[in-house]
Amino acid sequence: MIKINNAEELANKIDYTNLNNLSKKEDIDYLVKKANEYKFYSVVVSPYYVKYTKELLKDSAVKLTTVAGFPLGFSTPKTKKKEAKIAIKNGIDELDMVANIQALKTKDYDTVTQEIEKVKKVCNEKILKVIIEAELLNDEEIVKISEIIANSGGDYIKTSTGMSGQSPTIHNIRIIQKTAPQMKIKASGGIKDYKTAIRLLSLGVDRIGTSSGDLIIEEYKRISEKHWNYV
């Protein structure tokens, strides 16, 4: 199991997320407050809240991430490219783009390839994470889309939007790692506790996406305090 030395080290592996379509400004205020307090790697917000969040983060080391093609991924490559341009203009550091799963399912690999290439060209040096909804794919499809992302310029393979109601599986992560060992992986979807986060990091996942980041860090701190009380 991976060794986490302190809460800040764990927090630096987490993209703390609020993509709830009912979120108000006070919810984003809370997200940024906790991100600064715990030192999460980034916050992930909807495109609507990018400008607002950028202003909140103006004196912070926490990075800003938004989404494109979210949550279903079936918008056109041209649309996703436009979303990426607007997001970058508004000050994001990283972009999480949902791949076109419909195109993948119909073996229209050109469309999947083109959208990643187009968006990555816009992103340039900024990090592009491509969401594959792994829990909705069979093994062959996970292999194929992992190959496409690796060859099209994506920086991360992200397991899920979190909308499928399923959590990342060891099996699917192992397929991604075997197919594209050079790619970084972001695990997301139903990650709500410390043990799950640590288990995924122990598999070699590079980043965790979760809306429960504050709860995970607070749980880690309780466990750590309990441990040291017994030492």
Please name which of 150, 227, 219, 230 lies closest in space to residue 10, comparing C-alpha atoms: 219
How far apart CA 28 and CA 49 sit, in angstroms, is 8
Structure tokens at 128: 């592009």
> Under DSSP, is residue 209 helix (H, G, I), strand (E, B) or coil?
strand
Q: Where are the beta strands (DSSP E) in the chain?
A: 14-18, 42-45, 63-68, 94-98, 127-131, 156-158, 184-188, 207-210
Buried/exposed code over 138-154 (b: 16+ C-beta within 10 A; e: otherwise): eeebbbbbbebbbebbb
Show which residues are catalytic: 96, 158, 186
